[in-house]
Chain A
Amino acid sequence: MNSLADQLLVLVMLINLIMLGSSRLIFSIRAVAAQGVILGILPGLIHPFSLHLTGITASVILAKGIIIPYLISDAVHKAHIRREVEPFIGYVPTLFLGAVFTALAFVFAEKLPLAPEHKELLFVPASIATLLTGFLILTTRRKAISQVIGYLVLENGIFVFGLLLTEAMPFMVEAGALLDLLVGIFVMGIVINQISQEFSSLDTSRLRALKEE
């Protein structure tokens, strides 16, 4: 079972790289949805079956795989944008940086003082790599939608880390985190709509105009 989990985690990291390399927003959203579904399956693989676990799996797949991607793609359709036009750093350099960060994540995870049962798995490096990817997307992309995607990837990274603790983590905390995320996406959706109405563009670098002098 654990080898299957590891393979899925490799898939998660590959999806990270795909997102870094693609310019089409709809494609990125689908990739993030796929990542969400994988994350939903993962707890079922590493922990013994229970009713609690089924609930978690179902709700994670529902939130990360269906509702949130739907909300974002809805915003994309409403704002009439297809692709991220001019990122601060090009696609190939970010892809390269993503690879470097993934490698660094492995090095870092190697040195962390982890519990022995977690040492063998890919959870920690995958989580850190996803986290760094999220940061990379957040810093290099210009459109507000890409920022939301970056935020989601960041959250996915934290979620992978949290998987190690699923048994210790009470259900309420998870539900709270998911709800948090959902509300965050709602707010971002509203903000995106407002920004596109106000500035007739979703370029967040124009938000600089709001800075106090």
Chain B
Amino acid sequence: MLVLVASSIGWYALFCLLGGTLGGIYQLDWPMPFGPALFAVDPLSALFLFPLFLVSGCVALYSLSYWPAAERSDSARLTLFVGVFTAAMVLVLLVRNGVLFLMAWELMALAAYFLLTTEQHNREAQKAGTIYLLATHSGTMALFALFSLLHRVTGSFLLPAPHSLSTSVTLEAVILVTALIGFGGKAGLMPLHFWLPGAHANAPSHVSAMMSGLMLKMGVYGILRTVLLFVDLPGWFGWLLLVLGGWSALNGIALAAGQRDLKRLLACSSIENIGIIFIGIGMALVGLQTGAQVLFICGFFGAFLHIVNHGLFKSVLFLGSGVVLHSSGTREMDRMGGLAKRMPVTAALFLVASLAICGLPPLNGFVGELFLYLGALYDGIASPLPVLALVAPLLALVGGMAAITFVKAYGTIFLGTARSTVAEHRHAADGPMVGPMLLLAVCCLAIGLAPLLLVRMVAPVVRFYSGADVNLADLGGLQIPLMPLTALNLLLLALIVVLAVCYRLRLHGLPKAASATWGCAYQAPSPRIQYTGTSFSEMMVNLVGYVAAPQRLKPVLAGFFPARTATFSYRPVELLLDRVLTPLFSWIGLAFSYMRRLQHGQLHIYVLYVFATLFVLMIWAH
């Protein structure tokens, strides 16, 4: 019931936002030590609020049937924290006071922790939760430093007005780097991404959708907000964001390709998309520094469009993964198969979102990336450093790898025949859960067909950054082909529909034979002769072995008929987490175990500690 209320309020707020004016300011003067509570909506917040309200409303509807309150005992907790989580994110976007921002940020981080450990008896979820908590609190520590530094500069915890902050070069660099650590960690920018795959994989699917589609964007928002404060930025910051973004995009998708777990795959692809967003922001900042207007505008348009788009299609994918999980009972893609026959609607929606995430027309993913391509190819080559033009091939490479990854995911899950008996016998059908997914997917398609709608929403934000009016129609010779794009996309869609109809009509009169998919004309095909997802992506995983580096355990085979125990196992390894951080932390834990001797349970000795401290202080003071 609460979920319904929450969702309706979310919808109401969304309509208010879309219908009302943007730019309200609300100040609450209270006698708190950190100054008045200032809330404001500006175009930047509005940009993030749009997907937030849309997705959280859909997620609330979805969770009604995904996590039914009547059947699950822990649904009260889940409902509460979904509400808290959403509210905290809205608050993060609205507050303009550093201390309140930190409070909202912490509230969001903790709510996410409780959400992702919903299955609290699951060891894997516990571990993922702990890693997440450590990562998020390390990030918050950097944010504490950030807001303290800002307070030192301005003398107040209120965030300064846009484009008003100018300090010494070193302080500026320190502020930007702390922001990058704090917010970049939350956004999942490499190399601070290590908490992300585990956290997204172990949360309930609709929570993963919110975390990936919305929470990561809060990190992006933080960086954008920090960048906005300064009068002028140092030149290296844009380049740094660009390089980090490129690195995340390439390695994120490489990691995703090697995954066997559906939700881990989606999580790693979030890293890739965050990388693309940061490429856009980096391009824009470089453009701002060097005065390359097209670069600046295209970069920001690309990044902002991708922020909204990723929120939409990644949510559809995660919600779809929830439906798949329900019906197959496993997250392992290599155990699924043939679900398209039993869940045609889910399969279609998943396909639409997969196409969108690969950046293919006529969907929304293409629109965002188009701007980045245009910026890189047009002004990148002309700019002082032509290196920037390399963004275009990089994006193309990432897009290609994304296509392989999602062909693997879609093909393994929905096509072929069921690979395990579990997947075969579970009751599977499109439930009421597809409703919210359908809505989001239609949004994806609508943005793809009519990008002008979203561009019109994004334009004020870009104007907000440039300080001047942005005229998209004429960018010093470059035409952004939005109207032709709409026409082309419509044509493409029409072509697809026509081809599909022709195909159906052609099939109609012909005799039909039923056999197993990919049965290869064998007499008695077994599901095991199909390609698995792992084998499909193996070649690419080997190419990017430096980052994906999966662990393969091969058996020693002896004789003509090897024993049944000779099994091959394949486990994707997270380099940073499994090879560096986990050993480091276990070593530290070992070192600190000596400290436990102080913790012996003797009450008297505890009092003695206090006594001794007091005594030492008394002596020390004089």
Contact = CB atoms under 8 A, between A and B. Distances in A.
B600 A204 contact: no
A142 B603 CA distance: 9
Contacts of B587: none
A38 B610 CA distance: 28
A199 interface: no
A139 B601 contact: no
B611 to A, nearest CB: 4
Contact of A88 (B601, B604, B610): B604
B516 to A, nearest CB: 56
Interface string B573-606: 0000000000000000000000000011111110
B622 A204 contact: no
B614 interface: yes
A199 to B, nearest CB: 13
B608 interface: yes
B604 A204 contact: yes
A52 interface: no
Interface string A98-111: 00000000001001
B607 interface: yes
Contacts of A108: 618, 622
Contacts of B605: 139
Contacts of A111: 622
A111 B611 CA distance: 20
B600 A208 contact: yes
A205 B611 contact: no
Interface residues of B, number: 14
B611 A139 contact: yes
Contacts of A147: 603
A205 B604 contact: yes
Interface in A187-205: 204-205
A51 interface: no
A210 interface: yes
Contacts of B602: 205, 208
A138 B604 contact: yes
A135 interface: yes
Contacts of A209: 601
A147 B601 CA distance: 16
A139 B600 contact: no
Nearest to B609: A139
A59 interface: no
A12 B470 CA distance: 82
A208 B604 CA distance: 11
Size class of A's contact patch?
20 to 34
Interface string A105-145: 00010011000000000000000000010011011111000
A80 interface: no
B601 A210 contact: yes
A140 B610 CA distance: 14
Contacts of A88: 604
A139 B604 contact: yes
Interface in B338-389: none
Nearest to B604: A139
A114 to B, nearest CB: 13
Given A108-B618, A108-B622, A135-B610, A140 B604 contact: yes
Contact of B601 (A136, A138, A207): A207
Contact of B603 (A112, A132, A136, A207): A207
A113 to B, nearest CB: 10
B456 to A, nearest CB: 60
B601 to A, nearest CB: 3
A90 B543 CA distance: 76
Interface of B: 599-605, 607-608, 610-611, 614, 618, 622
11 contacts: A135-B610, A138-B611, A139-B607, A139-B611, A147-B603, A204-B603, A205-B603, A207-B601, A208-B601, A209-B601, A211-B599
Q: What are the 7 tightest A-B residue pairs by CB atom distance, in nearest-first order?
A: A211-B601, A208-B601, A135-B611, A138-B607, A111-B622, A139-B608, A139-B607
Given A108-B618, A205-B602, 13 more contacts: A111-B622, A132-B611, A136-B611, A138-B604, A138-B611, A139-B604, A139-B607, A139-B611, A140-B604, A141-B604, A207-B601, A207-B603, A211-B599
